[in-house]
């Protein structure tokens, strides 16, 4: 069986990955699952946009917190998994690219959530401007991403398919300064920024992940749109 690396556009790649994404041993996703929800756990009764909602792992939680959630994703395969999980009138799932979708209106959402998505977006400035456009004044963006130190080392979304071929998705490394600068240019104020390190709880999920103990795994930001 081939061990060759292959590179895929993100829509095709995530379509391939979708059927086993939730069971795939991914340390970055596991750390995000452990850490990210506590940043938006107080959201309730809000209109929330989830960018790159994928298989709906966070969508489920946001709906359970009594929010109305619009999830958008470029992968129909990932969305199909999400639809099988979520049977609620409080969730609307859209197959589209957030960067080009024209179905939202200004000041529509109380909050926007994006988990492990921004590595796939090259133009951060345009991303944050679109976020600011669709957020209500005072609304917040909750952002989780692979830690910049790891992306600088070449860590990015990838998986092995059924033929044991390593599939790498199209990704773009960004620095913390990139995030802070382009968000500020879009009038999004940084209200929280935290580095999440590998912990014992995390390592207990998979013994192979002990190599990540004490190392920065993901970075989480909370930005607020001015009134």
Q: Average of pLDDT values for 18-27?
A: 93
| pTM across the whole model | 0.94
> What's the pLDDT at 151?
94
Q: Is residue 162 part of a domain?
A: no
> What's the pLDDT at 1?
35
What is the percentage of the chain residues whose pLDDT exceeds 90? Answer: 87
Q: In the chain, how many domains are there?
A: 1
What tens digit of pLDDT does each residue of 58-69 get? 999 999 999 999
> What's the pLDDT at 165?
87
**Residue 89 sits in which domain range?**
10-146+176-194
Q: Is residue 151 part of a domain?
A: no
How distant, in Å, are the alpha carbons of 16, 44, 108, 167 from that of 139? Answer: 34, 13, 10, 36
Q: Is residue 201 part of a domain?
A: no
Q: Is residue 182 part of a domain?
A: yes
Q: Is residue 155 part of a domain?
A: no
What tens digit of pLDDT does each residue of 151-169 get? 999 999 988 988 788 899 9
Cβ within 8 Å of residue 115, ≥6 positions away: 32, 36, 50, 52, 54, 58, 144
Domain harbouring 140, CATH code: 3.40.50.150
Residue 5 pLDDT grade (very low, low, confident, very high; cuts 50, 70, 90): low
């Amino acid at each position: 069986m081939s061990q060759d690396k292959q590179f895929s556009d993100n829509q095709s790649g995530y379509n391939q990955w979708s059927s086993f994404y939730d069971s795939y041993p991914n340390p970055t996703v596991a750390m995000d699952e452990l850490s990210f929800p506590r940043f938006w756990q107080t959201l309730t009764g809000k209109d929330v946009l989830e960018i790159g909602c994928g298989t709906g792992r966070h969508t489920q939680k946001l709906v359970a917190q009594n929010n109305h959630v619009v999830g958008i994703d470029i992968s129909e395969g990932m969305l199909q998994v999400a639809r099988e999980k979520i049977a609620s009138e409080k969730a609307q799932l859209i197959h589209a690219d957030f960067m080009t979708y024209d179905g939202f209106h200004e000041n529509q959402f109380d909050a926007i959530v994006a988990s492990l998505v921004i590595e796939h977006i090259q133009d951060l400035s345009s991303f944050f401007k679109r976020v600011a456009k669709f957020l209500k004044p005072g609304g917040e963006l909750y952002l989780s991403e692979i830690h910049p130190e790891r992306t600088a080392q070449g860590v990015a979304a990838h998986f092995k398919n059924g033929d044991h071929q390593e599939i790498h998705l199209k990704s773009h490394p960004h620095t913390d300064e990139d995030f802070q600068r382009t968000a500020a240019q879009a009038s999004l104020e940084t209200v929280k920024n935290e580095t999440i390190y590998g912990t014992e709880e995390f390592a207990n999920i998979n013994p192979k992940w002990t190599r990540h103990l004490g190392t920065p795994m993901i970075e989480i930001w909370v930005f607020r749109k001015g009134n």
